[in-house]
Amino acid sequence: MKINFKPPLPATVLLLALSALPLLLNFAGCVAVPDQAVVASGSMDRELDRQPASCGSALELVNPERDTEGIDPSSFTVLSWNSHRSGHKDWNSDLIVLGRGADILLLQEAALGPVLDTQPEMAANEWLMAKAFQLDEREIGVMSAARVAPQAYCASREPEPLFKIPKIGLAASYPLAGLDTSLLVVNIHLVNYTINVAAVQRQISALEEIVRAHEGPVIVAGDFNTWNDERESLVRQKMTELEMNPVSFDPDHRVSFFSHRVDGVYYRGLEVTKSLSHQVESSDHNPLEVHFRLDQGAAQ
């Protein structure tokens, strides 16, 4: 659904409250939130590990014994999508069609079980899942998957001020074939139901140092919930400070809320060779597909 009008602030606040009400009613009495950031990891449709993994000032290596060739730095594809808890009947078929060849798959509002059902069909089947909450029997959160296992990862959380369900940022580094450097990928779902940007600022700051310290290429992508000028300005300012460039899409089918695009992809140390936004009916957001290659100038 695309909304392309911008009401004055009182109407905006009212609409936010009304849009949050169904969520509150839906979540009441059936939601469980973890006490800390926990990341599950797996391969194909199997979970291999689950452990606390809160972000600090740097990523720490995990599974150093796993042998992996690395992502091809000359050409790789990223698909980013808020999949709306995999609730639509056509969700899995859309994911398989659009994401089957992706080297990196970034999902926000991912439902763990349904995603794992699709993983045997996907090239990006080495996965990480940072759970935000459990709704009945469904684990919901942010999932990052790639053709290769991650070298390191961590998750950060920021609770929604209105109803305390956390939004997640998941950072992971992946080896690049033939190179000593790695690719840092941050999959983010920013807090939504706030009037000011204090919580947005905190959530970005929790991952800012990791991005700033990384010496190789970086991708930051996801649902930024930039539905007003202040939010959009803050995200763009932070990305500029981190020397991150926005990916442009033409035609641009990204969902709009109050005339602002809420999904996006930012990059550093890479070149964009192709970018697409796909129209679907299986979510209230549209998937973003970006083809990258290593910026040879930045790599020297």
> What local confidence, expressed as pLDDT, does residue 75 receive?
98
Residue 144 maps to a domain: yes
Cα–Cα distance for residue pair 118/16, rounded to 1 Å: 33
Q: Which residues of the chain have pLDDT under 70?
A: 1-29, 61-68, 298-300
Own/partner long-range contacts of 32-35 (Cβ < 8 Å, ≥24 apart): 32/133, 32/134, 33/132, 33/133, 33/134, 33/164, 33/165, 33/166, 34/131, 34/133
Domain span including residue 206: 9-299
> What local confidence, expressed as pLDDT, does residue 61 receive?
65
Residues 69-95: tens digit of each pLDDT? 899 999 999 999 999 888 788 899 999
- The residues that bridge with 229 in the sheet, in sequence order, are none
Residue 248 maps to a domain: yes
Residue 2 maps to a domain: no
Residue 3 maps to a domain: no
Counting Cα atoms < 13 Å in the Cβ hemisphere of 270 gives 33
Domains of the chain: total = 1
> What local confidence, expressed as pLDDT, does residue 15 receive?
47
Q: What is the CATH number of the domain that holds 151?
A: 3.60.10.10
Residue 47 maps to a domain: yes
Containing 268, the helix (H) or strand (E) segment is strand 263-268
Residue 195 maps to a domain: yes
> What local confidence, expressed as pLDDT, does residue 300 receive?
54
> What local confidence, expressed as pLDDT, does residue 228 receive?
95
Residue pair 59/169 in contact (Cβ under 8 Å)? The answer is no
> What local confidence, expressed as pLDDT, does residue 119 receive?
94
> What local confidence, expressed as pLDDT, does residue 18 receive?
44
> What local confidence, expressed as pLDDT, does residue 115 receive?
95
- Say what the pTM is: 0.90
- Pick from 262, 46, 36, 201: nearest CA to 131: 36
Residue 32 maps to a domain: yes
Residue 13 maps to a domain: yes
